Amino acid sequence: MRCWTCIFLTRACTSISRDADCHDTGSGAQDMRLGASAVRETPSNGAELGDSRARVVILGGGYGGVYAALGLSGAARQGEIHLSLVSRENFFLFQPMLAEVVSGSVEPPHIVSPLRRLLPHADVHQAEIEVIDNENHVIILRYPGTTDFKTIPYDHLLIALGSGSDLSAAPGLSEHAFPFRTLGDAFYLRNHVIGLLEQAEIEKDESRKKALLTFVVAGGGYTGVEVAAELNSFVREAAKSYRHVAPELARVVLLQGADRILPELPADLAQFGHKVLERRGVEVRLHCRIARATGESAILDSGETIAAHTVVAAVGAAPNRVLDTLQCERDEKCRVAVDETLAVRGMINVWAVGDCAAAPDLASGGRCPPTAQFALRQARHVAKNIRAAIRGGRPRPFRYRAMGVFVPLGRYSGAAQVFGRHVSGLAAWWLYRSYYLYQLPRLDRKIRVLLDWNLELFFHRDIVKQDVRQSDPLLRAHYEPGQAIFRQGEVARSFYIIVRGNVRIERQTQEGQERVALLGAGEYFGEMALLQGRWHTASAVAETAVDVITLSGTAFTALATSSSRFGELLANVARQRREGGTAARG
C-alpha cells in the first residue's frame, strides 16, 4: 500500500484552508437581561466606543461557527467588521476523526486546532454563554475561573451552538453511559477501555472477565457505527499484548432501534456495513433499544440483561440549553427556525446554522440534515450573506446538494455514496480518509494526521493509559484570616466542610455588612446555593486560618439526590437555618 504522505502531501500543502419548554426563558436569564442595558456601553470585546465597524458575533466553535468566521476573516482583516467568536473551548475539534482517538489511530492533539491561530483577526472568547439578549443586542458571558458576567454587543449575530446530549430517557444512562461528543469523551473512553483490559488480565473468574470485555454501543447511526467499529478493532488488537486475555473474548454489541443500521445511507450500503461489522465480530441487534443501565450491565427493552462494564451512548441529541434564553420560533425538535437565507425567522440580523438550526433544504424539499458537511457549507454561505447585509445587498438562498456520505467500518473498510454511486470496502475507506483529511484545517494538523496514519501501517497502536486525575481525590484548601472563600453574588460551585478554624458568614445589606453566623470545625456551608441552583446570597470569609475539604457542585448534587437520608438531613438543616435567620449561610 502506498504511503499516505506520498499520496496527499502535495494536495495538503495547497489547503490551509455535535426539559423546559423551548420558548420559555428562565428567571435567572431574565434577571441578567434586566441589567444588560446598564452595562451595554462597556463592551468587553475590544471594540472601542464610537467604532463604526459592524460588530459580528459568532456563538459556537464547531463547524458552523469556525467556518463562518473563516469566511468573514477577510472582512475583519480589511477593517470592514469587528469579528468575535465565543466558544466553550479554545480549540476547534474535527469531529469526524473523534472515533479514531479511541482506537489510537490518531493522537488527540492532532485533530484539534487552536482558535486563536485559526482566526488571527477575530476576538476569541473562551467562555460560557449565559444569555442571548436580543432585546438589547448583547451576549452575556461568564469566563472560566471567574464569577463575573461580561457582555459583548453585536450588530449581527450568528448562532452555531450545535447540539448537546440528553441521556435522561433511560434510567441509569446519564450516570453510567459514556457520551461521545467531545475530545474529553473520547479520551476518557479510551482510558476506561485500557483499564478494563488491565483488570481482565488479572481476573480469574471467567464470567467477570467476559463482562469486563463486553462493550455495548447504543445507537446505530454514523457515530454509533464508527465507535463500535473502532472499539472492536482496537480491543481485539490490544488484547494480543495481554498474556491472559484472548482476543476472541472481546464482545462489542451494537443496538439499533430501527430495522437497519445507518439509516442515512441507501439500504444496500447499510446492509453491506452490517455484514462487514458482523464479519469482524461486532454483534448487531436490530429493533433493540437500551432501557436501563448500571455500572455492570445494560438492560434492553426486551428485558434481556447484558453483563457489561461499558455502555456508549450514541443517542440522545438535544438542543443547546442556551437557546432557551432566545425568544424565537422553534421547530418540533426545538431547533431555531431559519428561512432559506439562514436568517432566524422573525428576527433582524440574527442568523443560525448547523445542528441547532432547522434550515430548509431547497434541493430535496425537506430539512437540511445535521451533518458536518451541511454545517460547513451553511457556514460559508451565511458568511457571504452577512457581508451582503452589512454592505446593503440582498442575502441569497442556501442551496446545496450533498456530494456523498462516508462511514468507516474499521481498518481498511468503509461504506460510501459519492455523487450517487455506491462504494464499499477498501475504496470507501480510502475515500473517507481522503475527503476528511482535505477538510481538516491547518497544514500542520494535516501532516500530523498523515504521520499518525502512516505509523499505524507499520506499528501497533498504543495501549498506554494516560491517567490525568489528581493524585489525591479529596480536594483540600487553606485560607488565611480575612481571605474570602466565596463572595455574595458569585455563582455557587462547591460544598465546603471545615476541618480546622472558623468561617464567618456575612451578608451585605443596605445598612452595611451583617454578620450571619460563625462556623467551626466539623460544620459545613455552601449547600443552600447549590440546592437552589443559583449564586451565593452571602459571603464566606476565614475568621482564622482555615482548612476545608471541598466537594464539587456536580458531586454534591448527585449525592444529595441519590441519598434520601442525606437529602432529609440537608432539608432539616435548611429549615433550621431559615427559622434561625441564617439562610444566607449557603
Same-domain pairing of 213 and 136: no
Highest mean pLDDT among 221-235, 263-277, 467-481, 547-561: 221-235
Range 363-384 average pLDDT: 89
Same-domain pairing of 372 and 419: no
Domain span including residue 442: 173-315+406-458
CA distance 515 to 503: 11
Highest mean pLDDT among 36-45, 291-300, 529-538: 291-300
CATH number at residue 452: 3.50.50.100
Whether residue 117 lies inside any domain: the answer is no
Same-domain pairing of 487 and 432: no
Same-domain pairing of 552 and 490: yes
**Residue 48 pLDDT:** 44
Whether residue 119 lies inside any domain: the answer is no
**In the chain, what percentage of residues exceed pLDDT 70?**
85
Please report the DSSP string for 102-158 in residue order.
HHTSS-GGGGEEEHHHH-TTSEEEE-EEEEEETTTTEEEEE-TT---EEEEE-SEEE
**Residue 37 pLDDT:** 37
**Residue 403 pLDDT:** 75
Residue 373 has pLDDT above 90, yes or no: no
Residue 320 has pLDDT above 80, yes or no: yes
- Give the pLDDT band (50/70/90) at residue 447: very high
CATH number at residue 367: 3.50.50.60
Instruction: Tell me, yes or no, if the pTM score tops 0.85.
Output: no
Whether residue 101 lies inside any domain: the answer is no
Same-domain pairing of 160 and 193: no
Our count of domains for the chain comes to: 3
Task: Give the orientation angle of helix 443-458 with respect to helix 426-439, to 10 degrees.
Answer: 150
Whether residue 145 lies inside any domain: the answer is yes
Question: What would the pLDDT profile of 458-492 be if each residue is shown by its tens digit?
Answer: 998 889 888 766 544 568 888 999 999 998 888 88
Same-domain pairing of 287 and 183: yes
Range 39-62 average pLDDT: 67
Same-domain pairing of 439 and 569: no
**Residue 565 pLDDT:** 67
Location of C-alpha cell 458537511: 373
Same-domain pairing of 394 and 431: no
Whether residue 483 lies inside any domain: the answer is yes
Residue of 138, 132, 491, 150 whose CA lies nearest to 322:
132
Same-domain pairing of 208 and 140: no
Q: Which residues of 453-492 are buried (b: 16+ CB within 10 A; e: fewer)?
A: beebeeeebebeeeeeeeeeeeeeeebeeeeebbebeebb
Please report the DSSP string for 234-263 in residue order.
HHHHHGGG-TT--GGG-EEEEEESSSSS-T
Same-domain pairing of 146 and 258: no
Averaged confidence pLDDT in the chain: 85
Same-domain pairing of 190 and 307: yes
Same-domain pairing of 285 and 339: no
Contact 290, 171 (CB under 8 A): no
**Residue 148 pLDDT:** 73
Whether residue 59 lies inside any domain: the answer is yes
Whether residue 131 lies inside any domain: the answer is yes
Q: Hey, what amino acid is at 143?
A: Y
Question: What would the pLDDT profile of 168-210 be if each residue is shown by its tens digit?
Answer: 888 889 889 999 999 999 999 999 999 999 999 999 999 999 9
CATH number at residue 581: 2.60.120.10
Whether residue 13 lies inside any domain: the answer is no
**Residue 30 pLDDT:** 42
Range 128-144 average pLDDT: 91
9: which residues sit within 8 A by CB, 6+ positions away? 447, 450
Question: What would the pLDDT profile of 494-540 be if each residue is shown by its tens digit?
Answer: 889 999 999 999 998 888 888 889 999 989 898 878 877 678 889 99
